[in-house]
Amino acid sequence: MDKLVSLCKRKGFIFQSSAIYGGVNGCWDFGPLGVELKRNLKDDWWYNFVQIRDDIVGLDASIIMHPDVWKASGHVDAFHDVVVDCTECKHRFREDHLEADKCPDCGGKLTEPMQFNSMLKTQLGVNEATAMETYLRPETCQSIFVNFKEVYSSCRTKVPFGIAQVGKAFRNEVNPRNFIFRSREFEQMEIEFFCKEEDEEEWFEKWQAEIWSWYLRLGLPEEKMRWFEHPKEALAHYSKRTVDVEYNFPFGWGELQGLANRGTFDLKAHSEASGKDLSFFDQQANERFVPTVLEPSAGADRATLAVLCAAYTEEEVKGEQRIVMKLAPKLAPTKAAILPLVKKDGIADIAKDLEKKLRRKFTTYYDQAGAIGRRYRRQDEVGTPFCICVDYDTKEDNTVTVRERDSMEQVRMPIDEVAAYIEPKVSFDHEA
């Protein structure tokens, strides 16, 4: 994990937030390569779960909502962690994360367990006396429930259908830790899928299969993934059934995403609290009902971390160590690096020209500094799937060498064919 964290900082994937001021615990900044990686992952999710499906539509709702949303959803009363404080060093811990009944930092005595609401409060309005106190959303899904009727009546969607959203969520986590795994500001990728109660089990199974397959297609090894079934007595207040996909991170198994059957809890709770009917009218069957909700709820940061952990590889090549990020090409921040063998004799100009053309198709990087072998290694370390070398022969016959990252195999091809060769291999529908 330390090696990965250091590579992420050194290469511009992930930085600590406000580092020059000493940092903010639980907040992270995605640098030039990190933002490309995470955006590719979110776009791939959207491509798979919204774009190519005919039964899911998208939403991008506001982060700040009416405070009554959080009362009706149960968050004001029940979004609690049970915490204990150390009477000596005053550090606070989540009780369920402790292994012994003394402080893990100083060995001090702990207080009795207390309830701690992890929503972040904020104020809306310019006059303190009349400002509305509300929260930064702790999950993206409530805005989907609140917009349920607006969406289905504007899009003429019919149950079964889903609404998907990708966006920020905020939780005042007691112990943010394990790099970006547990942050206070993070991004969720959530779907609320509305179906008839009698179809819930069938859809639950279909969703399990879809979710599993998506992580495999991100390049996660199957032996590092498992399902965890929440025991009935430990289910959240809204849930009829919850399963999590867990990943075996270097620090142990951790939740990547949940899949919950939320029943009719949320639509009914918001109907009751707002006085607005959130049922669905099925014209064909001439029947009105409140749909059951299945919720595949994923974290973009946790999926990004899993992908980074799975990709990090140390190998020996001809007696030398090579660090290579074996990222799925569709996720790689840079798809192709264009490297002139030498700067002189017009070779750099051909390479620059090629890069200009290719960057309209996919992300590229131009590098003319240093020995070619070292330049390949630099690209390996950030997961660039293809390196294109322009050399003296290019001037003679208009061909270049394309080197593939994992196999390090090199093929010679006409310069005009490079874009068409690479493009399908880095697209979202390319099967790795």
Question: Contact residues for ligand ATP (CB under 6 A)?
Answer: 139, 171, 173, 182-183, 186, 188, 255-258, 297-299, 301-302
Q: How far is the CB of 26 from ligand ATP (least distance, A)?
A: 8
As a whole number of angstroms, the distance between CA 293 and CA 400 comes to 53
CB neighbours (10 Å) of residue 248? Answer: 17
- Judged by beta carbon, residue 265 or residue 386, the one nearer ligand ATP is 265
Backbone conformation region of residue 407, classed left if phi is above 0, alpha if psi is from -120 to 50, else beta: alpha
Least distance in Å: CB of 120 to ligand ATP? 12
Which residue has the CB atom at the shortest distance from ligand ATP?
Answer: 299
Q: Beta 114-117 vs 80-85: how paired, if at all?
A: antiparallel
Toward ligand ATP, which CB reaches closer, 251 or 392? 251
Which of 257/334 has CB closer to ligand ATP?
A: 257
Neighbours of 413 (CB within 10 A): 15
Residue 394: CB partners within 8 Å, gap ≥ 6?
347, 350, 400, 415
CB 45 → ligand ATP: shortest distance, Å?
12
Cβ-contact 30, 38 below 8 angstroms: yes
Distances in Å between the alpha carbon of 199 and those of 207, 238, 291? Answer: 12, 19, 10
* Backbone dihedral region for residue 163 (phi beyond 0: left; psi -120 to 50: alpha; all else: beta): beta
Question: Cα(61)–Cα(47) distance, rounded to whole angstroms?
Answer: 19
Of 186 and 365, nearer to ligand ATP (C-beta) is: 186
d(CA 298, CA 305) in angstroms, rounded, equals 13
Which of 50/305 has CB closer to ligand ATP? 305
Nearest distance, CB of residue 366 and ligand ATP, angstroms = 35
CB of 253 to ligand ATP, least distance (A): 11
How many other C-beta atoms are found inside a 10 Å radius of the C-beta of residue 232? 10
Cβ proximity to ligand ATP: between 208 and 427 the closer is 208
Rounded-to-integer distance, Cα 151 and Cα 161, Å? 11
Q: Which is nearer to ligand ATP, 152 or 249 (CB)?
A: 249
Return d(Cα 24, Cα 18) in angstroms, integer: 6
Residues 242/230, Cβ–Cβ less than 8 Å:
yes
Question: Shortest Cβ distance from residue 3 to ligand ATP (Å)?
Answer: 21
Q: Taking the complex as a whole, how short is the minimal distance between the CB of residue 160 and ligand ATP, in angstroms?
A: 22
Please, how many CA atoms are within 13 Å of residue 300, restricted to the half-sphere of its CB? Answer: 29
- Rounded to whole angstroms, what are the CA distances from 273 to 15, 141, 180? 42, 17, 36
In angstroms, what is the minimal distance from the CB of 297 to ligand ATP?
4
Between 190 and 355, name the residue whose CB sits nearer to ligand ATP: 190
Nearer to ligand ATP, 46 or 365 (CB): 46
Rank residues 47 and 253 by Cβ distance to ligand ATP and give the closer one.
Answer: 253
> What minimum distance in Å lies between the beta carbon of 256 and ligand ATP?
6
Neighbours of 374 (CB within 10 A): 10
| Residue 387 CB, nearest approach to ligand ATP (Å) | 33
